[in-house]
Structure 1
C-alpha cells in the first residue's frame, strides 16, 4: 500500500472498522505500514522507523545466534 485515502474503512482482526482520517491520509507514504488494532485503533508505522526496528531486531537475533557458540564458562566469567 503506497497511499491512503481519507474515509477509507480498515478492518481490525476482531472485525472492528476504523476510518482513515485526513491527517493519516496526508502523512502515509510508500513503505509505511498500517496496523489496525481493536484497542489502539489505526497505528501508522513510517518506513524509516520500520527500517530502524528491523535492523535492531536483526542485529539482536544475530547476537543471540552468536551466543550459541559461547561456552557457559565464558559467560559466567564475563559476569564475575
Structure 2
C-alpha cells in the first residue's frame, strides 16, 4: 500500500464473490491461496499480484484492472497535490 493512501474495502469484490456463491474459503481454493489472504485483499490491506489479480478477475468475472484502481487514483491525487 502506498504511503498516505487510505485503505479501502473492496466492496465490489465481496459483492461479486457472494453473487457467484463463493465463500472466502471456496474462492481461496479456486485461486490457490489461503482464505486469510482473500480476507486481506477484500479489506484493502493487501493488493494481489498481477498473476493473482488475473486469476481472481476470471473467477469473479470482473476486469483485472479493478484490483488496482483505488491505488492508482490515490497515486494520481498525491501527484496533483504536490
Give the TM-score, by structure 2 length: 0.28
Q: Which has the larger radius of gyration?
A: 1
Q: Which has the higher helix share?
A: 2
Highest RCO, 1 vs 2 (Cα 8 Å, sep ≥ 6): 2
Give the TM-score, by structure 1 length: 0.29
